[in-house]
């Protein structure tokens, strides 16, 4: 992802369809990327870890989107900032 990209973590409940989440995320945030990361299986049992890369101009819409997605799919919202705070990745 290039300059002007905001990255954070999101824990997705494993009972939800990961491909559907990625499709909805990309439709909502054109130019964004949902990267499913490999983690130690017992790091957070029952959840998949994603790094979400969002164009900076859309970052204020990310939290409401994640909260909506969790509510719409009856899942607990497991969003949290990466490494304790949002960070920018420049490539």
Domain ranges of the chain: 5-83
Q: Are 22 and 10 in contact (CB under 8 A)?
A: no
Higher pLDDT, 58 or 78: 58
pLDDT digits (tens, 9 = 90+) for 19-65: 999 999 999 999 999 999 887 766 777 788 889 999 989 889 998 99
The confidence band for 88, taking pLDDT boundaries of 50, 70 and 90, is: very low
d(CA 91, CA 84): 21
Q: Is the pLDDT of residue 91 over 90?
A: no
The confidence band for 89, taking pLDDT boundaries of 50, 70 and 90, is: very low
Strands (DSSP E) contained in the chain are 5-13, 33-37, 47-55, 78-80, 87-88
If you average pLDDT over residues 65-90, what whole number do you get? 61
Q: Beta 33-37 vs 47-55: how paired, if at all?
A: antiparallel
Q: Which residues, including other chains, have CB under 8 Å from residue 48's CB and lie 6 or more apart?
A: 11, 12, 14, 18, 36
CATH 3.30.1370 fits 5-83, yes or no: yes
């Amino acid at each position: 992802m290039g300059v002007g990209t905001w990255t954070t973590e999101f824990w997705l409940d494993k009972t939800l369809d990961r491909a559907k989440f990625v499709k909805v995320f990309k439709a909502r945030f054109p130019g964004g990327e949902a990267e499913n990361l490999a983690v130690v299986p017992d790091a957070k049992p029952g959840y998949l870890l994603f790094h979400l890369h969002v164009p900076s101009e859309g970052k204020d819409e990310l939290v409401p989107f994640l909260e909506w997605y969790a509510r719409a799919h009856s899942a607990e919202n497991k969003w949290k900032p990466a490494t304790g705070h949002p960070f920018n990745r420049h490539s």
